[in-house]
Amino acid sequence: MAVILKYLIAGLVRYWLIHIDYWQTIANRVEIATPLNSWKRLIEGVYLYGHNINPYEGDSFHESPIMLVLFYYLMKRIPFILPALFTVLDLLTAYLLYRTSKAFINMFKDSQDKKLEEVSEESKNMLLNDSQLKEASEYVLSVYLFNPYSVLNCVAMTTTVIQNLLVAASLWGASTGHRILACVFVAFATHQALYPVLLIVPIAILLAEVNKGCHKCSYIKTLLVFVLCWGFLIYISAYIMDGSYEYVYDTYGFILTVPDLKPNIGLFWYFFTEMFEHFRLLFVCAFQINALALYVIPLTLRFKKEPVLLATVLVALSTIFRSYPCIGDVGFYMALLPMWKHLFTFMQQKFIVGCAFIITSALGPTVWHLWIYSGSANANFFFGVTLSFATAQIFLITDLLFAYIKREFTLKHGTSRQVDGKPAKLVLR
């Protein structure tokens, strides 16, 4: 009953905010809407498509053709249902994350039972019981439903709502062992925003563990199904655009080359505004490698036994370093963090990170107003806030990873520390 009440309250809040007078202001905020997910740009693309004008010929529309056709028919036939549709999709995302966390809890419990013999006697009180594990799913649901980042993202009716749903569905499919579902949904998410391609690594590991077969064969099957699904989506999109693949440059190319430098909460826009043009290609490649490839191999090698943690970290890192991030992306990975609430005891930066999130969330709109409307600030002020916001996220992720390593070490070696057979102590001199 309590879970149903949460859904009801969260749904009513979203639906009500969509219909208030300030909705247009929310939908146009730079922290929420980007050139990739903006509702305003989506309407413009649909309008051009409806008048037989290629929406990709200009510089205003960068969604996939599949999304274009979907919303064309929705706006043409049942436009009145769109606010309710976005609300339902966001609630469905919360539900899928809830089910994913449930499946992960069962996996974590089995893993904990198998490693029981390796746990130090004095650390056995750190093992999690059923009630503690059950709480994690409730927190996942609550954090997504009532996180202001997620709420505002839904209220602005950005297409990030759909991206979050696709990513959540792919994680749920992987955690329950449904390879085709997981690959289809992650292919859809990749086709829309490119960066979710990173998730194929933890999803392949997760499917191999859940299905308990030959790991190498499972990896190959997962990769093959994903590539086939993604290729089919690219072909369907080209078919929609009368056999032309020119849309690829205005979707994937737009994401990778970052031509639109409108301010957002990311790190690209200010850097490339100030850079000399002849250095642009070098640094675009460096930034995109950092976002798409740099962390996958080392993190996979270290956390291959925890694919859900690996997925959480890769989603977070791609959010921080992608070319056009928004707070909807941040709200999504924050909802995954309660699955690791047992690590919070080992985290050292919780207070600093929490304060940084609150302060930057308040300062961002304030500094934007001072810069754009009052003229008493400049771009440096706003970029300083976004840089602090990104730094806080990096602190959060690194602290979470170190907390996992600390807990793993403590479980195996115990809490006492000895040097030469005697209790260790720090002496200040």
For the chain, which residues make up each domain, given as ranges?
2-116+132-346
Question: Helices 160-175 and 179-193: crossing angle, nearest 10°?
Answer: 160
Q: Which residue has the higher pLDDT, 128 or 61?
A: 61
pLDDT digits (tens, 9 = 90+) for 18-77: 999 889 999 999 999 999 999 999 999 999 999 999 999 888 899 999 999 999 999 999
Residue 198 banded pLDDT, cuts 50, 70, 90:
very high
CA dihedral over 130, 302, 314, 216, signed as positive or negative: negative
pLDDT number for residue 57: 87
3 state DSSP class of 405: helix
Specify the amino acid at residue 348. Q
CA distance 276 to 281: 10
Residue 266 banded pLDDT, cuts 50, 70, 90:
very high
CA distance 100 to 302: 23
Average pLDDT of span 162-177: 94
Q: Degrees (nearest 5) of the Cα angle 309, 293, 232?
A: 90
* H-state helical runs in 23-116: 23-27, 39-50, 65-77, 82-114
pLDDT digits (tens, 9 = 90+) for 357-400: 999 999 999 999 999 998 888 899 999 999 999 999 999 999 99
pTM here is: 0.93
pLDDT number for residue 1: 64
pLDDT number for residue 17: 95
Residue 429 banded pLDDT, cuts 50, 70, 90:
low
